[in-house]
Amino acid sequence: MRRLELLRVEHRDLDSAIAALAESSAGDQMQVARLKKRKLRLRDEIAFLEDQLVPDIIA
């Protein structure tokens, strides 16, 4: 799944961007909050796509 890999890359990139903003003395807290929200949405989408790949097992 190409889409899944792209989402994972973007998620990792957001980690770096958030860390860089948090470390800078001029870190914009609103921007950090927006990036964190985006990261959470990506995590949810990644989890959804991963769930689609794994078939349900009826116990």
**pTM greater than the 0.95 cutoff:** no
Main-chain phi, psi angles of 57, to 5 degrees = -110, 120
Query: Are residues 35 and 21 in contact, defined by beta-carbon separation less than 8 angstroms?
Result: yes
CA angle 17, 3, 10 (to 5 degrees): 0
Look at residue 50 in the predicted model and tell me its pLDDT.
Answer: 92
Q: What is the pLDDT of residues 2-58, one digit of tens each?
A: 999 999 999 999 999 999 888 886 668 889 999 999 999 999 999 999 998 887 777
DSSP state of 25: T
Torsion of CA 32, 26, 22, 15, to 10 degrees: 60
d(CA 10, CA 46) in angstroms, rounded, equals: 11
